[in-house]
Structure 1
């Protein structure tokens, strides 16, 4: 079997994409909670009022038991995510109030763009939005005009790169 340069390029691009996705899902931190003087997370007012997740909510398929209207967080969010072999991945996420999303990722410095769409679910008592499309399986913590990307353990990134995984809501 002869492997052409074109085939090698395709394999390289696919491998890069999967490595990028692996990185995204393994390097996230929870910035949505306030911190005390020692840096430990403290409860938010909503959690003190009983809207935080419980052990049943830890299950990936658990859904909200509170009434949440998607219009409260619908809109367009964007971030430029880190990339190992490019200048960054400019990503735009559109959340619609009909429980659907659209995502577009452009690899800066390359001629590559990936788009996907599908339904979303609210999980963890509506504190997390789970985007599930053909090529997308992404969980984001819902903040005020922000979405915080979660890692593979469903935790928000809290290290020095946390801001790199925060999607800001665009004014529309």
Structure 2
């Protein structure tokens, strides 16, 4: 009998010690039955927000049509705030613009949007390993001959 208990204990410990993939449960209301909720298991995977060491300061000199370039520093902080500092080279060299505020992550956890920017700055950046990509107004990576100049490197 002790042998059977030992074998059963060994079997149960092996069965329950196997790792299971994490699942996120989402509650969804259906249109046909709005008061009835159904749950769906959604896999939770790694993304820029939860798998990278993204807090820090990133720098690049972005292309500029009316100046020599825009020196751009973006600091993303763990508490969800940012500092954006820009300097238009060749135009009033003493002037630096500094914006501060909060940023939000998109649903995929890979793009941050800087909240409260003034002017025509899109304020969206795709976060990667030790770099961020300055995105266009639609949130797309900039393509073409100058695409590599829109990548800010972590300092």
Point out where structure 1 has 5 or more consecutive residues left out of the alignment. Answer: 1-64
- The higher relative CO (CA closer than 8 Å, separation ≥ 6) is in 1
Q: Secondary structure at the match of 1:72?
A: coil
Aligned length: 106
Match of 1:114?
97
**147 and 165 in structure 1: CA distance in 2 versus 1, 3 angstrom threshold:** same
**98 and 146 in structure 1: CA distance in 2 versus 1, 3 angstrom threshold:** same
Establish whether residue 80 from structure 1 lines up as the match of residue 61 from structure 2: yes
Between structures 1 and 2, the one with greater strand share: 2
Query: 1: CA distance between counterparts of 2:53 and 2:114?
Result: 17
1:70 Cα shift? Answer: 9.0
Match of 2:75?
94
- Taking structure 2 as the reference length, what is the TM-score of the superposition? 0.62
Q: Secondary structure at the match of 2:96?
A: strand
- Taking structure 1 as the reference length, what is the TM-score of the superposition? 0.56
Match of 2:141?
156
1:141 Cα shift? Answer: 0.8
Q: Indicate if the aligned counterparts of 2:61 and 2:69 stay in contact, CA closer than 8 A.
A: yes
Backbone CA RMSD of aligned residues: 2.1
Establish whether residue 105 from structure 1 lines up as the match of residue 76 from structure 2: no
Point out where structure 2 has 5 or more consecutive residues left out of the alignment. Answer: 1-43
1:133 Cα shift? Answer: 2.6
Between structures 1 and 2, the one with greater helix share: 1
Query: 2: CA distance between counterparts of 1:92 and 1:98?
Result: 18
